[in-house]
Amino acid sequence: MLRYVLTSIAAALVLAGCSLAPMTPEAERVQVVATPPSGCTPAGRVEVSATSGFAMVKRNQLRVKDELETLARQEAAKIGANTVSPREAPSADGRQSFEAWRCAR
């Protein structure tokens, strides 16, 4: 039993620092901007979520934010957008919505 508990704790600590969303080549072409860009066409809204913790171990919030941006870039690429801007800050439970845009480059 102790072995199971220690293994679970070790796994949670390792995963707490990892990014679980790998960047796809299509997502690499999507830019993240802090505010809605001017001169761009709206492409829709993207809702994403990431795991904010495991058991009682909270993940690093910067890594959660990075993962949310990666997921938003992936979803934006699927709808033909090349830019995303956050609608609000990430929630405590690891959710965030973004506006997707098609911008001339």
Q: Convert the pLDDT of each residue in 7-66 to its tens digit.
A: 444 444 444 444 567 888 999 999 999 999 999 999 999 999 998 877 678 888 899 999
Taking the whole predicted model, whether its pTM rises above 0.85 is answered as no
Contacts of 39 (CB under 8 A, 6+ apart): 103, 104
CATH of the domain at 52: 3.30.110
Structural domain harbouring 21: 2-102
pLDDT in the model for residue 15: 45
Query: What is the reported pLDDT for 12?
Result: 45
**pLDDT tens per residue across span 61-93:** 899 999 999 999 999 999 999 999 999 999 988
Question: Would you call 83 exposed, middle or buried from its count of C-beta atoms within 10 A (0-12, 13-18, 19+)?
Answer: buried
